[in-house]
Amino acid sequence: MKKILIFVFCVFALSANAIEKKTNFNEELFNKAQTEGKIVVVSSWIKYCTSCASQMKAINTLKEELNNFEYYTFEVTNREIADLLNVQYQTTLLIFKDNKELHRSIGVTNKDTIYKVIKSLI
């Protein structure tokens, strides 16, 4: 019985941050958004990374609230995109505007912190 409870607890703990992770980064759309003067937010993720899921969840929530920036994600094992953006780690957050990188952080998952950064650049 104890093993079953531990298993159930682990399943719920891991699913609490469950979010569908998929790469939606497209270099053409990324460049187009920047030439249009939009704020572009990019985050990297890797399978089974709970901090990645937390960061993505926070940014998706902000996207619904602010709705004035483009948001792209990519799996950090995709070397073509990772090399293009010079990203080596999962949970990397990048913010661009006018073809310039304005912000880079690693491991930031707090919605309020991410909100302050994005809001300060809009």
CA dist 11 to 48, 66, 97, Å?
A: 13, 32, 40
Q: What is the mean pLDDT of residues 5-30?
A: 62
What is the pLDDT, as a whole number, of residue 2?
A: 52
pLDDT tens across 33-53, in order? 999 989 999 999 999 999 999
d(CA 105, CA 78): 19
What is the pLDDT, as a whole number, of residue 122?
A: 76
* For residue 26, pLDDT beyond 50: yes
53 in Cβ contact with 19 (< 8 Å) = yes
Instruction: Give the neighbor-by-neighbor strand order of the sheet with 39-45.
Output: 69-75, 39-45, 92-97, 100-106
Token pair 């992770």 is at which residue? 21
pLDDT tens across 60-81, in order? 999 988 878 999 999 999 999 9
37 backbone dihedrals φ, ψ, rounded to 5°: 80, 15
pLDDT tens across 91-114, in order? 999 999 999 999 999 999 999 999
In order, the DSSP letters of 10-52 are HHHHHHTT---------HHHHHHHHHTT-EEEEEEE-TT-HHH
Domain boundaries, the chain: 2-121
For 2-121, CATH number out of 3.30.2270.10, 3.30.70.60, 3.10.450.50, 3.40.30.10 equals 3.40.30.10
Write out the two tokens for 51. 């901090």
